[in-house]
A and B are shown apart, each in its own frame.
Chain A
Amino acid sequence: MHDERLDVENLHLWRGDRHVLRGVSFSLSRGECLQVTGPNGSGKTSLLRTLSALMYPEEGRVLWRGQDVRADLAAFHGALAYLGHEPPLKGELSARENLRYWIGVRRRIGSRALEAALELVGAGAWCDRLVRTLSAGQRRRVALAGLALLMVPLWLLDEPTTNLDREGQQLVADLIAEQRARGGMVVAALHHELPASLRDLRRLELRA
């Protein structure tokens, strides 16, 4: 069995007549985190969506465990968690219900694990309120609880610290650190001011 690793070879992506990704290459192995930086519109989100195989690049490929991800999409997606700009939550469901459905589609979760994750992100007091009534930062925290529950080796995070207070940003840093300690990998678009523990990451700079 191949070890978990992500190899990205010479990605070129066009959106309309814009050449968004111009030859992006990197490799990640166990326990590594790559910080993707760059100004707005430089293609951070496009890169993450290409890595997740939501978008197909015009050239280049993404390899998971040495195999092109398109060869076995289900296996790759089973090993991946993607968090986009907006937390994928339903306003009409409570935080707890949201997690139960969203994560439950992918893996069995016991109610104890669910409690633990909600507690971890500080949602214990408000996890039964409808998400519609939560603040943007609280919603982000619910999404982070989902991330923690998924227990998958590869995280693709698009601005995970958006709307979070200092404590919440520290939570993101701790989650990433823990994921790395487990041997997991993280690719994160982060351009916010980072907690100290996240400042020594490998960086990939995209230019507009």
Chain B
Amino acid sequence: MNRVVTPIAGSLVQTDTAPSTQTPAWPDTAQASVLEAARLALARDLRLAFRKRDQLVQPLAFYAMVTMLFPLSISPELSRLREVAPGVLWAGALLASLLALEFLFRDDAYDGTLEQYALSGQSLTWLMFAKTAAHWLLTGLPLALMAPLAGLSLGVPAAALPGIVVAVAVGSIALSLIGSIGAALTLGVKRSSALLALLTLPLSLPVLIFGARATQLAISGGPLLAPLELLAALAVLGVTLAPLAAAAAVRISLE
């Protein structure tokens, strides 16, 4: 069958159809704004995550298992469990977020999405920020929402739970951002998970320390604002610097 292909210039842009050599047919005005681009990148990642639920569930299931194995393996004595609760909650959150990091850029690197982002003429930094934000919404936030459940299984008093949720939510922002640098740097590396952990864990230690401290204070009923503020400071530092570094690392990996 011989299909007639009609000229598309008229149907795709609302300008006159006649292709003249004098007036260029490139509509500069139609360029998407950087915020629109970032919104779409975020929406795309969220939609993809809900189509591929296993990647979404895996870190959460890991977190639930780790935090629930501890009370079974140590002792059901509440005072003892409360003592280890901060460490367990945060080590578990750190490892769960590390588990999820591998998926942050890997699929996009394979199928050429990152390449198209880098060649989009849009700020790659903003697009990386959008991707990391999606990653936090898909792992950090659910981890924070799961923390009360994990806390209860470790004998944490109910009054401490709101503080723990806030601490994990804020701390995981920093973890996602730090992780985005590591994930971008290890893009060109085969079997990169060990290297990714090696790069990311040392940088994540401040988050672990302040997060555990905040949790400890929440459990004992002390003032936990100071460690929370430090966590927030780390998150802000991450927001300002990590997307820049991740964008630079992605560009290098594409070369």
Contact = CB atoms under 8 A, between A and B. Distances in A.
Interface in B232-255: 254-255
A54 B114 CA distance: 11
A183 interface: yes
Interface stretch (A20-28, A32-40, A88-96): A88-96
Given A84-B115, A116-B11, A151 B48 contact: no
A178 B7 CA distance: 7
Contact of B9 (A74, A100, A182): A182
Contacts of B41: 101, 105
A153 interface: yes
Given A104-B40, A116-B11, A148-B8, A182 B111 contact: no
Q: Pick from B13, B44, B117 the residue with the most CB of A within 10 Å.
A: B44
B5 interface: yes
B119 A80 contact: yes
B37 A105 contact: yes
Interface in B103-162: 107, 111-113, 115-123, 127
Contacts of A86: 111-112
Contacts of B116: 82, 88, 102, 105
A90 to B, nearest CB: 6
Interface in B27-72: 27, 30-32, 36-37, 40-41, 43-44, 47-48, 51-52
Nearest to B3: A167
Interface string B18-31: 01010011110011
Interface string B177-201: 0000000000000000000000000
Interface in A50-107: 52, 54-56, 74-80, 82, 84, 86-93, 97, 100-102, 104-107
A93 B9 contact: no
B47 A113 contact: no
B254 A54 contact: yes
A76 B122 CA distance: 11
Given A101-B43, A153-B26, A78 B121 contact: yes
Contact of A182 (B19, B32, B48): B19
Contact of B120 (A92, A105, A171, A178): A105
B111 A88 contact: yes
B111 A90 contact: yes
Nearest to A82: B119
A174 B3 CA distance: 11
Given A56-B255, A107-B31, A148 B12 contact: yes
A113 B12 contact: yes
Contacts of A89: 111
A30 B5 contact: no
A80 B8 CA distance: 18
B115 A88 contact: yes
Contacts of B121: 74-80, 106
A120 interface: yes
B74 interface: no
A192 interface: no
Contact of B255 (A55, A106, A113, A183): A55
Nearest to B41: A105
A117 interface: yes
A54 B255 CA distance: 6
- Interface pairs A-B: 8 shortest CB-CB: A78-B121, A88-B112, A77-B121, A116-B11, A92-B51, A101-B44, A105-B37, A174-B5
9 contacts: A55-B255, A74-B121, A75-B121, A77-B119, A84-B115, A88-B111, A151-B12, A151-B25, A167-B1
Interface of B: 1, 3, 5-9, 11-13, 19, 21, 24-27, 30-32, 36-37, 40-41, 43-44, 47-48, 51-52, 107, 111-113, 115-123, 127, 254-255
Given A4-B24, A82-B116, A88-B112, 6 more contacts: A80-B119, A93-B48, A102-B116, A105-B122, A120-B6, A181-B19
